[in-house]
Amino acid sequence: METLTFNQKLGRFIVNWIFLMLVWIMFTTTFASHEILIGLITTGLISLFSIRLFTCCNISILSPVKIFWMIWYLGVFTVALIKANLDVARRVISPELPINPGIVKFKTKLKTNYAKMVLANSITLTPGTLSIDIVDDTFYIHWIDVKTTNPEEAFKEIAEDFEKVLLKIF
């Protein structure tokens, strides 16, 4: 396990606390003062005990620039999701099933595990691709309509838009 300085611990604790408190408010869907009080105590204790386990990032994730890029990422992702579904709908409905499946691979520049997880999840929900495995920095992707087996070109087709934004966040 890595050793953390006090400042890093404090940053992770605060990020955890804010995130868990948001989840608490969403689950209880009320602003009554006793609910908020119990929520503050419970989520504070949980984030105190899970500093090492349950954290992706330190306090710098809350800076306005990064939050702007997160919202931008949500936009990019939503557009890709809708495109993906129209694509799937076209393939499912058409009588002769226009598919040419195969597995391709490419390398990513992302470093942290959380960034790779977000990228893999996004790839699964975007047009015609399904992430099968990540080995170190190589992604293995099942592609429903293979256009190229060259790793660089496959990377350009599948993941470039997402990675550009993710590199700014993580």
Partner 1 sequence: MTYYEIIGGILITIGSIFLFLGGLGIYRMPDIFNRLQAGTKATTLGAMSLILGVGIMEGTWEWILKSFVIIVYIAFSNPISSHALARATYLRGHRPYIKSEDKEKMDAYREVVENDPKRKEVEV
Residues 84-143 that bind partner 1 (CB under 8 A): 84-85, 88-89, 91-93, 97, 99-105, 120-121, 124-125, 128-133, 135, 140, 142
Given 1, 26, 32, 53, the residue binding partner 1 (CB under 8 A): 26
Q: Does 79 bind partner 1 (CB under 8 A)?
A: no
Closest distance between partner 1 and the C-beta of residue 53, in Å?
A: 18
The span from the CA of 9 to the CA of 157, in Å, is: 39
The span from the CA of 11 to the CA of 146, in Å, is: 44
Query: DSSP secondary structure string, 120-136?
Result: HHHHHTSTTEEEEEEET
Q: Measured from the CB atom, is 12 or 116 closer to partner 1?
A: 116
Q: Measured from the CB atom, is 11 or 128 closer to partner 1?
A: 128
The span from the CA of 7 to the CA of 80, in Å, is: 38
The span from the CA of 70 to the CA of 166, in Å, is: 8
Q: Does 71 bind partner 1 (CB under 8 A)?
A: no
Given 51, 61, 146, 167, the residue binding partner 1 (CB under 8 A): 146
Q: Which helix (H) or strand (E) holds 14?
A: helix 6-28
Closest distance between partner 1 and the C-beta of residue 114, in Å?
A: 12
Given 82, 137, 152, 156, the residue binding partner 1 (CB under 8 A): 82
By the 10 Å C-beta count (0-12 exposed, 13-18 middle, 19+ buried), 159 is classed as buried
The span from the CA of 112 to the CA of 124, in Å, is: 19
- Residues near partner 1, by CB under 8 A: 23, 25-27, 29-30, 81-82, 84-85, 88-89, 91-93, 97, 99-105, 120-121, 124-125, 128-133, 135, 140, 142, 144, 146, 149
